[in-house]
Every structure is written in structure tokens, then in C-alpha cells.
């Protein structure tokens, strides 16, 4: 058996992923995206706890070790700092590691490695060393989990220069964005909305992959009266809110941010200048959250176009509650409708 050091970097001759459109759940779309990236480049490897024969807690890596072997799909000890530290060393040797963190709250033992090493090595070496490392993090609530299993810590990483922070909201983006993240020369925190893992949608397996578009926001519903900005699990909430507003005769534009860092400011500004109102939605606490940065940028760029202050709907400034109360903590359609009503009251 060849060792990892003996493997050659091959990007040609590997089987291409299947083409055509199919229906996949979001978790299966990530699985297929990982498979496509691993077939395309044998320097792509996966690391994480129970990701081999078990296929991970959410079965996102199901079948990948059987196809690519134990040297490319590595079951690691329960040591998140060690996983990320090893990935940094592998990236220095030319590999493209993809690390899985089992649950959002388990990323904190690796926080030092991510924010003081992974995020800074490219700058520290004046561009001589790239860090093409992806860290997959199932995040968010809605699954009735216990403590430390429903966190939304994306703002902590978005605050750190040198990291890209992204989150897909649907199966098509999950399939494409995981491949774009792996192709990126920069470290990427890939936040997967676990509450949406079982949501199904059409996926075009032949979609081209270009890491340059990884931070591009998308208008997923056009409107004229108010812009609802969301990402990850909150996009579905925004779309349901838009349906409710349509029944009231109000037209909402829904913008799927997709990337929390860097923010596609141009897309947000273009939408808000058209509608004159903006409500930002995310599951993370509103206090010092991503919505605060978006609100500040919108206020700076759209001050004379705004008909009302930018409002935010999200989690409260408390620890995540026990499962039976999480529906009161998470942003709901009713809470977003209330914010829209306040925006129209000005």
C-alpha cells in the first residue's frame, strides 16, 4: 500500500462526476460534492471523527471511505485541535484537507488553531504558503438536540481576517459550494445548516465549479417593498415570510447571502436601494452578530434610499435553550413579520 507521501497529485484521468439533474437532500448533496472533488483531485482528503465506515453522525461522508480508502478518508481521534493542526501541516505539503467537526459546539477546542494559525499563515509567509483547508461544521438549531449541539458561531470566525465563512441554504448550493470551497486557495469555514439536512431539491450535477463565485449572494425571490437578507437555515424562514407578506399585498425580495465573509455588499446594496427597507435574519444571537455588520454597511451605502432603519431578527443574547424551548429562541415567520411591520411603520 502506498503512503500518503508517495501519492502523486493527479487532476486528470479521474472519473468525472455524473452529469444531469437529480433530486437530493442537502446532506446527500454535500456527499456528492465531496465525491466529485475527490475524484477530480487526489490531493483532496477528508478527516474527522467517525467519518469512515459510519459515514459521520449525519451520514454526510457515507460511502466515501469505501470508495477512496482509509488514507483519503481518515477516522481521527476525538481531538478537534489535533484534526485542524494536522490539516494545516497537510496543506503545507500540498494536500487539500477537508475537516469535519461533528457539531458546531465542538469547534471551540480547535478555535486557537483556526484563528491564530490557519487564518494567518498565508499572510505570515507573505503569500508563499497557501492554506486550502475546508472545515465543515454542521450548525444551527431545529433538531431538538442537547447542549453544545445547536450553536451558530459563524460571527466568531467572520471576525477573523484570513478566513472565508460560507453557508449553503439548499441542495444545489451545497453541492456546488463545497466543491468551490475545496478549490479555493484560502481556508474556508463551511457551515452546513443541520436543520435543513433532510430538505430535498433539484441538483444539477454538471454545474461548473469556480471558487471565485463562492462569496456571491443570490436573489432567490424578487420584490419591491422590503429586502429580507438571510443565509443558511434562515433563508427558508425568509421565503415563508415573503409568502405571508404577498398575501398581505406586500412584495418582499429575498437575498440569500451564501457568504458571511466576505459579504457580497454590492448585491445587498443593490437590493436595498430598490426596496428602501431591509430586515436581516439569522439564527445566531443578534448582539454583535453578522446582521450588525450588514446593517452598518447598508446604512453607510444606502442612507438616502432607506425608508426605515435596518432591522435584525435572530437569536437572543442568552445561551442556546433546552430543546423544548428552542422554537421560542429561533427566528420565526411571525417575528420577521413583526420586524417588517415596524419597518413600514416609519
Which residues belong to the active site? Answer: 149
Q: 332: burial class by Cβ within 10 Å (0-12, 13-18, 19+)?
A: middle
**All three cell numbers of 140:** 444551527
Residue whose C-alpha is closest to residue 134's, from 89, 103, 165: 165
Q: Contacts for 8-11 with beta carbons within 8 Å, 24 or more apart? A: 8/42, 9/41, 9/42, 9/43, 9/94, 10/41, 10/42, 11/40, 11/41, 11/42
Amino acid at each position: 500500500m502506498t503512503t500518503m507521501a508517495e501519492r502523486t497529485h493527479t487532476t486528470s484521468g479521474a472519473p468525472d462526476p455524473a452529469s444531469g439533474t437529480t433530486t437530493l437532500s442537502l446532506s446527500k448533496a454535500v456527499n456528492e460534492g465531496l465525491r466529485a472533488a475527490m475524484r477530480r483531485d487526489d490531493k483532496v482528503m477528508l478527516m474527522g471523527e467517525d467519518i469512515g465506515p459510519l459515514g459521520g453522525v449525519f451520514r454526510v461522508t457515507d460511502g466515501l471511505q469505501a470508495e477512496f480508502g482509509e488514507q483519503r478518508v481518515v477516522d481521527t481521534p476525538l481531538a478537534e485541535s489535533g484534526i485542524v493542526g494536522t490539516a494545516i501541516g497537510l496543506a503545507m505539503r500540498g494536500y487539500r484537507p477537508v475537516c469535519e467537526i461533528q457539531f458546531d459546539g465542538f469547534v471551540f477546542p480547535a478555535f486557537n488553531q483556526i484563528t491564530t494559525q490557519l487564518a494567518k499563515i498565508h499572510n505570515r509567509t507573505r503569500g508563499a504558503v497557501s492554506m486550502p483547508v475546508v472545515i465543515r461544521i454542521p450548525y444551527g438549531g431545529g433538531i431538538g438536540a442537547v447542549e453544545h449541539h445547536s450553536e451558530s458561531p459563524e460571527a466568531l470566525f467572520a471576525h477573523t481576517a484570513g478566513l472565508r465563512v460560507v453557508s449553503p441554504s439548499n441542495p444545489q448550493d451545497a453541492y456546488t459550494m463545497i466543491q468551490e470551497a475545496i478549490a479555493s486557495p484560502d481556508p474556508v469555514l463551511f457551515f452546513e445548516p443541520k436543520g435543513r439536512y433532510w430538505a430535498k431539491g433539484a441538483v444539477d450535477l454538471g454545474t461548473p465549479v469556480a471558487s471565485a463565485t463562492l462569496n456571491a449572494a443570490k436573489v432567490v425571490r424578487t420584490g419591491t417593498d422590503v429586502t429580507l437578507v438571510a443565509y443558511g437555515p434562515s433563508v427558508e424562514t425568509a421565503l415563508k415570510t415573503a409568502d405571508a407578506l404577498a398575501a398581505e399585498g406586500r412584495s418582499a425580495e429575498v437575498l440569500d447571502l451564501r457568504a458571511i465573509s466576505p459579504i457580497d455588499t454590492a448585491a445587498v446594496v443593490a437590493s436595498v436601494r430598490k426596496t428602501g427597507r431591509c430586515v436581516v435574519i439569522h439564527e445566531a444571537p443578534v448582539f454583535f452578530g453578522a446582521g450588525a455588520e450588514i446593517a452598518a454597511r447598508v446604512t453607510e451605502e444606502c442612507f438616502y434610499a432607506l425608508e426605515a432603519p435596518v432591522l435584525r431578527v435572530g437569536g437572543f443574547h442568552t445561551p442556546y435553550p433546552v430543546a423544548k424551548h428552542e422554537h421560542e429562541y429561533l427566528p420565526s415567520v411571525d417575528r420577521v413579520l413583526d420586524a417588517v411591520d415596524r419597518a413600514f411603520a416609519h
